[in-house]
Amino acid sequence: MNEIAARPNNLDAFWMPFTANRAYKATPRLLARAEGMHYFTNDGRTVIDGTAGLWCVNAGHGRPEITEAIQKQAAVMDFAPTFQLGHPIAFQAAAKVAEHTPPGLDRIFFTNSGSESADTALKIALAYQRARGEGQRVRLIGRERGYHGVGFGGMSVGGIGGNRKQFGAQLPYVDHLPHTHSLEHNAFTRGEPAWGAHLADDLERMVALHGDTIAAVIVEPLAGSTGVLVPPKGYLARLRTLCDKHGILLIFDEVITGFGRLGTFFGAERVGVTPDILTMAKGLTNAAVPMGAVAVHDRIYRAVVDNAPDGIELFHGYTYSGHPLAAAAAIAAVDVHAREDLPARARAIEPYFEDAAHSLRDLPNVIDVRNMGLVAGIELQPRPGKPTDRAVRVFHRCFDDGVLIRTTGDIIALSPPLIVEKPHLDRIFETLGAAIRAEAA
Ligand SMILES: Cc1ncc(COP(=O)(O)O)c(C=O)c1O
């Protein structure tokens, strides 16, 4: 291990994202190396990864196929523009991704992150509505407790108050569907809850209110970052029907649910609903190089591109759209998913994962356990007057006992790499259960 990885001598300069900087820098926890199901800390401890990094290292850490593809590409060509030029590997990566996207969604726009994918999807939706002569459709509908990253578009359609309150101005012409979380109706449900499909009907109310000005609805098939909200049975199908009825595009944000997380290549397949536009990032490159993408239905691509005057058809893109190193990583990562059938692997271990998660239900302060695919949420009763404190303390205990979990509010989210095996799950859930018990003592 090199010296810098082992012990940085200055923690001040890095303003850490979504972090309690002062608390972290007072007691830093540093990860220095990763392999397979494990991280290794700078002081040499092994930490089992219960969260696939940040829901992104779906194929496990340090996959040699991906590392080698990146190294090889870096030596061949470090960078080339994709504005009015191209390089083969970007086209190959797009074609490779399109082999796995839902039927029809085979036009791929590359970005560098989930946030950029969300903003790109919203912009494409607006451009499409205008291209087909529905330019009055400028309104974007998100959902309470939705997370679509931190750009102004994603933040505005997102439904997490804490992520918005510091920033004042949001996009205009945005509205939100109600979230689908209900402890009263759905606590301790395994898989999709029975209650809540009717919440999609709120879109009818919005159409009554906003008329034909709605361009698109964006939702996560399963909302992850906001605390694992599993879609109620029939909810997404209902949303699809209503969008079709009213000329509204349906966007699935699959930044978390893509790449096998729900036991299918994309979540759309698992929930049996095909969106018009689908965003992805994270697992696309197994997180080895930042990359996001937006899969767009051919009909939308054709409407925007074929209806445009000669010249650039969509005034949007990033310097690094289709970056060679990211494209190489994506091709290798998609190949790993396909060759090892990681979605099937996730499906096979899902029942064991589900049982393990629900074995926590009787522990003190556990008020809900919910799960789908290889995602589980364990909701804790907040400490009176100290929201998030209980979960953060459980997080620290687990980390110090060698297990990485993730918390959001007082909800613990688990999303291990899809290569997880039963002994890993035993260790993760035993450690988590012990930490929850210890915090109650
Ligand atoms: C559903 C969803 N959309 C968008 C994002 C934002 O992705 P990024 O952090 O890569 O910008 C995330 C990140 O967790 C996400 O879960």
**254 CA: nearest ligand 1 atom:** 1
pLDDT in tens, 343-366: 999 999 999 999 999 999 999 999
Q: Is 254 in the pocket of ligand 1 (CB under 6 A)?
A: no
Mutate to test the pocket of ligand 1, among 282, 289, 320 (most ligand atoms within 8 A of CB): 282
What residue spans in the chain does CATH classification 3.90.1150.10 cover? 3-59+341-440
Q: Which of 224, 223, 189, 222 is nearest to 358 (CA)?
A: 189
> What are the two backbone dihedrals, phi and then psi, of residue 154, each rounded to the nearest 5 degrees?
-60, -40
Q: How far is CA 291 from the centre of its chain?
A: 13
Would you call 218 helix, strand, or coil by DSSP? strand
Q: Where in the chain is the domain with CATH 3.40.640.10?
A: 65-339
Give dist(CA 347, CA 261) in Å, integer. 9
Cα distance between residue 18 and residue 124, in whole Å? 28
Cβ–ligand 1 contact at 147 (below 6 Å): yes
User: H or E segment at 292?
Assistant: strand 292-296
Q: Is 139 in the pocket of ligand 1 (CB under 6 A)?
A: no
Tell me the CA–centroid distance for residue 362 and ligand 1, in Å.
32
The atom number, within ligand 1, closest to the CA of 256 reads 16
Q: Is 255 close to ligand 1, i.e. is its CB under 6 Å away?
A: yes
> How far is 383 from 392, CA to CA, in rounded Å?
11
Tell how far the Cα of 184 is from the centroid of ligand 1, in angstroms. Answer: 28
| CATH of the structural domain 65-339, one choice from 3.40.50.970, 3.40.640.10, 3.40.50.740, 3.40.50.1100 | 3.40.640.10
Eight-class DSSP state of 147: -
Q: How far is the CA of 55 from the centre of ligand 1 (A)?
A: 9
- The C-alpha atoms of residue 194 and residue 334 are separated, in whole angstroms, by 34
Q: Could you tell me if 427 and 408 are in contact, meaning their C-beta atoms sit under 8 angstroms apart? A: no
Distance CA 54, CA 142 (A): 23
Q: In the prediction, which pLDDT does 4 show?
A: 47
List % helix, strand, coil for the chain (3-state, nearest 5): 40, 15, 40
Instruction: Assign domain 3-59+341-440 to its CATH superfamily.
Output: Aspartate Aminotransferase, domain 1 (3.90.1150.10)
**Does 220 sit in the ligand 1 pocket, CB within 6 Å?**
yes
The CB of 119 under 6 Å from ligand 1? The reply is no
The ligand 1 atom nearest the CA atom of 55: 14
**Per-residue model confidence (pLDDT) at position 349:** 98
Instruction: Confirm if 118 and 149 have CB atoms less than 8 A apart.
Output: yes
Q: For ligand 1, what atom is nearest to the CA of residue 117?
A: 4
Instruction: Judge if the beta carbon of residue 225 lies within 6 A of ligand 1.
Output: yes
- Low pLDDT (below 70) residues in the chain: 1-7
CB of 224 sitting under 6 A from ligand 1 = yes
Nearest to 288 by CA among 13, 70, 40, 45: 70
What is the atom index within ligand 1 of the atom nearest the CA of 292? Answer: 10
Which amino acid is it at 10?
A: N
